[in-house]
């Protein structure tokens, strides 16, 4: 291991980056150096700019993918190599704003009717009934379910933050039905390897299979269930800051976007067309003289 790589890893650990993020950042730095066949120490701002244009124009990477690479190179140069550059030397690609696809409560019910496995149904219900991310649901332990306080402890979720999620009576019933049948010990959803939990890919595949069997035309992912959780809470009048805490969002703006897809909020707005004077609205157009 080169001294630069070792220092880069140490800087990431000091900043509390997750192991998976560290692995990705190392790969991004390696690919950057490989593109120029030179060490990052020998490259400048123009090289960074050229590489980012290559990723966008030739590799056709998404804005999210490019921005992750930008973050890794920014940490490498500004922190590890201590270069006297600025944030402007690491331009970020603009991400297109897209509204999340939201399932209605009827569509969610139809979806769960087509999840035949108790194990996968319980895991996917956690994503809708408690708003968990797929990685959080997969990594839950039996001890994380607090039935006395009706809470779910999410340990080291995104951003390495602990939080509590809600445990509804119906979700608790589904988890108990699964637990009685499977009797898991440490992880609520153990994987095939001893001491490991189920993989997120397995839950995603189970979600795709159920969506296909249900005949829903909307694109359904595990994250769609989390979107539906937030939107349905908002529709029922839950305060957006409570939803923010339940979802584990660090910024209120991230949670507030669900208001844009809430049907009740849209329907509650009165169109200016409906406020027009009926007599004026039905008036005949004024004829003009022909030239």
Is 194 domain-assigned?
Answer: yes
The whole-number pLDDT of residue 266 equals 59
Q: Which residues contact 52 (CB under 8 A, 6 or more apart)?
A: 66, 69, 70, 91, 93
- Do 167 and 221 lie in one domain? The reply is yes
pLDDT digits 0-9 by tens, 207-245: 999 999 999 999 899 999 998 898 888 888 888 888 888
- Do 113 and 76 lie in one domain? The reply is no
- Do 74 and 116 lie in one domain? The reply is no
Please tell me which residue in 114, 141, 153, 158 is annotated as part of the active site.
158
CB neighbourhood size of 210 (10 A): 22
Q: Three-state SS across the chain? A: CCHHHHHHHHHHHHCCCCHHHHHHHHHHHHHHHHHHCCCHHHCCHHHHHHHHHHHHHCCCCCHHHHHHHHHHHHHHHHHHCCCCCCHHHCCCCCCCCCCCCCCCHHHHHHHHHCCCCHHHHHHHHHHHHCCCCHHHHHCCEHHHEECCCCEEEECCCCCCCCEEEECCHHHHHHHHHHHHHHCCCCECCECCCCCCECCHHHHHHHHHHHHHHHCCCCCCCHHHHHHHHHHHHHHCCCCHHHHHHHHCCCCHHHHHHHHHHCHHHHHHCCCCCCCCCHHHHCCCCCCCCCC
- Do 112 and 80 lie in one domain? The reply is no
Please tell me which residue in 7, 74, 208, 223 is annotated as part of the active site.
223
The whole-number pLDDT of residue 117 equals 92
The whole-number pLDDT of residue 129 equals 92
How many domains does the structure of the chain reveal? 2
Question: Nearest to residue 166, comparing CAs of 78, 51, 82, 246?
Answer: 246
The whole-number pLDDT of residue 274 equals 67
The whole-number pLDDT of residue 13 equals 93
- Do 68 and 145 lie in one domain? The reply is no
Chain centroid to CA 286: 55
CB burial string 51-71: b at 16+ within 10 A, e below: bbeebeeeeebeeeebbbbbb
pLDDT digits 0-9 by tens, 120-155: 999 999 999 999 999 999 999 999 999 999 999 998
187 is catalytic: no
Q: Which residues contact 130 (CB under 8 A, 6 or more apart)?
A: 152, 165, 166, 167, 168, 171, 229, 246
Is 256 domain-assigned?
Answer: yes
- Do 112 and 155 lie in one domain? The reply is yes
- Do 111 and 235 lie in one domain? The reply is yes
pTM metric for this prediction: 0.68
Please tell me which residue in 28, 227, 232, 249 is annotated as part of the active site.
249
Is 188 domain-assigned?
Answer: yes
258 is catalytic: yes
The low-confidence residues of the chain, meaning pLDDT below 50, are: 283, 291
Please tell me which residue in 119, 133, 197, 227 is annotated as part of the active site.
133
- Do 219 and 263 lie in one domain? The reply is yes
- Do 208 and 85 lie in one domain? The reply is no
Please tell me which residue in 28, 119, 121, 226 is annotated as part of the active site.
226
Question: Nearest to residue 248, comparing CAs of 118, 130, 112?
Answer: 130
133 is catalytic: yes
Residue 199 zone, left/alpha/beta (φ > 0; ψ -120 to 50; rest): beta
The whole-number pLDDT of residue 244 equals 84
- Do 85 and 177 lie in one domain? The reply is no
- Do 8 and 147 lie in one domain? The reply is no
The whole-number pLDDT of residue 264 equals 63
The whole-number pLDDT of residue 205 equals 96
Dist CA 51 CA 90 (whole Å): 11
Question: Which residue reads 């390495």 in tokens?
Answer: 160
The whole-number pLDDT of residue 291 equals 47
- Do 127 and 44 lie in one domain? The reply is no
197 is catalytic: no
20 is catalytic: no
């Amino acid at each position: 291991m080169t001294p630069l790589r070792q220092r880069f890893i140490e800087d990431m650990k000091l900043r509390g980056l997750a192991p998976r993020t560290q692995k990705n950042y190392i790969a991004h730095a390696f690919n950057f150096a490989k593109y120029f066949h030179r060490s990052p120490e020998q490259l400048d701002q123009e090289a960074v700019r050229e590489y980012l244009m290559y990723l966008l124009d030739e590799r056709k990477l998404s804005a999210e993918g490019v921005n992750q690479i930008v973050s890794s190179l920014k940490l490498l140069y500004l922190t590890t190599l201590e270069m006297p550059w600025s944030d402007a030397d690491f331009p970020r690609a603009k991400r297109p704003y897209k509204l999340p696809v939201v399932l209605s409560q009827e569509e969610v019910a139809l979806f769960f009717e087509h999840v035949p496995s108790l194990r996968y149904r319980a895991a996917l219900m956690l994503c809708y009934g408690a708003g968990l991310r797929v990685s959080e649901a997969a990594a839950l332990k039996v001890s994380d379910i607090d039935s006395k306080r009706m809470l779910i402890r999410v340990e080291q979720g995104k951003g390495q933050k602990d939080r509590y999620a809600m445990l509804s009576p119906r979700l608790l019933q589904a988890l108990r039905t699964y637990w009685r049948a499977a009797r898991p010990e440490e992880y609520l959803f153990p994987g095939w390897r001893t001491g490991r939990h189920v993989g997120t890919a397995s839950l995603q595949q189970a979600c795709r299979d159920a969506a296909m069997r249900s005949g829903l035309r909307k694109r359904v992912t595990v994250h769609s269930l989390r979107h539906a959780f937030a939107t349905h809470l908002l529709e029922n009048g839950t305060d957006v800051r409570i939803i923010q805490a339940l979802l584990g969002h660090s910024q209120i703006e991230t949670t507030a976007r669900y208001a844009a897809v809430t049907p009740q909020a849209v329907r509650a707005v009165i169109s200016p067309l409906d406020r027009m004077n009926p007599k004026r609205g039905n008036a005949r157009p004024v004829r003009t003289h022909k030239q």
